Copies of this chain bind each other. A is one copy, B any other.
């Protein structure tokens, strides 16, 4: 049954991949590393996210235990989201990708340009 085989359809590793695939989740997670934030505060900070996606992302992160939600019964309801210890471990891991990007993105871009130039001239 090979539960650890990423090449089979049902594998926990693929699930993590899908979570990382969600760029909004990664972005929000990274943002919360800097401390708790409120809903609209997140929305304003993450460039381009819609309420729907933010809401959806936060709910998903909370369900996974990566982020915690705390509501305050103030007059206009206030909600604070914070990263959990578990979420912190994932965020740290994902951060390695950011480092990779910063280190190698230039090489990738350069290669893309060479590739595009070559493909255009029929090579």
* Chain A interface residues toward B at CB < 8 A: 4, 6-9, 12-18, 20-23, 26-27, 30-31, 45-48, 62-66, 86, 89-90, 93-94, 96-102, 104-105, 107-112, 115-116
Most buried by B among A9, A23, A98, A104: A104
Task: Verify A62–B102 contact, CB threshold 8 A.
Answer: no
Which chain B residue lies CB-closest to A20?
B20
Task: Verify A93–B89 contact, CB threshold 8 A.
Answer: no
Which secondary structure dominates where chain A touches chain B?
Answer: helix
A109 to B10, CA, bound (A): 14
For A6, list chain B residues within 8 Å (CB). Answer: 26-27, 30, 98
For A45, list chain B residues within 8 Å (CB). Answer: 7
Task: Verify B64–A97 contact, CB threshold 8 A.
Answer: no
For A9, list chain B residues within 8 Å (CB). Answer: 47-48
Offer 20 A-B interface pairs, CB within 8 angstroms, sorted by A. Answer: A6-B30, A6-B98, A7-B27, A7-B47, A8-B47, A9-B47, A12-B102, A13-B102, A15-B101, A15-B105, A16-B101, A17-B97, A18-B23, A20-B97, A63-B115, A64-B108, A65-B111, A93-B96, A93-B100, A97-B97
